Amino acid sequence: MSVTWGKTAGDGKARSGVLRTSHGEVATPAFMPVGTRGTVKTVDAEDLERVGAEMVLANTYHLMLRPTAETVAALGELHGFMSWAGPILTDSGGYQVFSLNPTISEDGVVFRSTYDGARVELTPEHAVAVQEMLGSDVAMILDVLIGLPATREDTIAAMDRTLRWAERAVAAKTRGDRALWGIVQGGSDPELRARSAAGTAALGFPGFGIGGLSVGEEPAARNAAVSAVVAELPESAPRYVMGLGDTEGILDCVARGADLFDCVLPTRLARHGKVLTRTGDFSIKRAEWIDDDTPIEDDCTCVACRRYSRGYVRHLFATKEFLGPRLLSVHNLAYTLDLMSRIREAIAESRYSDFRRETIAARRTG
């Protein structure tokens, strides 16, 4: 069974639905914790299940190099390798590759491995083949990412090459039980975004990533780009804003019709002692928490909040105990996944606009 998506409710442009895969269903809008190397940093599969994760992301670039796609396939593909029964999406590795100053041609990209310096070539066809070997439920095409700001000429060149690579990826797909999604580029220019979205949609992908954002652009530019893309994509397909995971950004993009998100932000912030809460974010490392016996966040049901105090978690960070980053990672993921649940509830009850406004206000004034 390939991946299908069905809309179940709407509130203006905000919408909710169900993503159906061979490894279970995902209620959308949804957030995917990032398991770059086949693991979400500091937490295990049971932690993810307990905080309500339904779908996770893994990274093609890293896994094709260590331990190799062949090794993952031999160990039961990603689901068996990670011991994760739910759906998995793999990105193509384009984001990581383009941070390595690769040599780019019409054929693909050539770069040096960050592990041993070996020369590695990645083409649109190879990206598909590797992801099919990994066995993810959703694979993403190889795209051409450019940093922002960028010239219009460079943006058009990257966008057009991404479209050509998308055609090659479609032709390379062989597994009927897995889905391949396209990626829309176009920088921060709404006109180019609309053009890229229309061209990508014409290729018939069952789902679409909105790439090239969350790279330093202003929220207004990001929102304009997402709006332009959504207007050109089919209503029947999921829209995935790649690499976005902050509360305000998710709320903005859901309001514009986005369905799926991923980001390392919740766990990365946790490893540095940053706590995400409904009433604003704070550092657990601050001296004021040294003898605080209250939970990290009131009313949160995660294990970190049920069992441990702010004073204790601060102590773990002060003494550099590994448990500190793990507990905060669990909490920040629980916060983010609870946010998605509340978003879906608000959409179903046709009160999303009020929910969005109230959530942002609470985080600013809490």
Taking the C-alpha atoms of residue 64 and residue 205, their distance in angstroms, rounded to an integer, is 24
Structure tokens at 37: 């190397």
Per the CB < 8 A criterion, the answer to whether 41 and 263 are in contact is: no
If one counts every other C-beta atom within 10 angstroms of the C-beta of residue 270, the result is 27
Task: For residue 324, count CB atoms less than 10 angstroms from its CB and return exposed for 0-12, middle for 13-18, buried for 19 or more.
Answer: buried
Q: How many helices and strands, by DSSP H and E, does the chain display? A: 15, 16
Going by DSSP bridges, is the β-strand pair 260-263/239-241 parallel, antiparallel, or unpaired?
Answer: parallel
Closest CA to 268 of 220, 217, 336, 219: 336
Q: Which residues are catalytic?
A: 91, 262
Q: Which SS3 state, helix, strand or coil, does residue 148 take?
A: coil
Neighbours of 225 (CB within 10 A): 29
Closest CA to 214 of 165, 260, 190, 249: 249
CA–CA gap between residue 345 and residue 308 (Å, rounded): 29
68 contact partners, CB below 8 Å, separation of at least 6:
none
Cα(263)–Cα(214) distance, integer angstroms: 10
Per-residue DSSP letters for 200-244? HHTTT-SSEEE-S-SSS--HHHHHHHHHHHHTTS-TTS-EEETT-
Q: How far apart are the first and last CA of the chain?
A: 46
Give the single-character DSSP code of 288. G
Q: Which of 267, 340, 234, 274 is nearest to 43 (CA)?
A: 267
Report the largest interatomic distance among the alpha carbons of the chain, rounded to a whole angstrom. 61
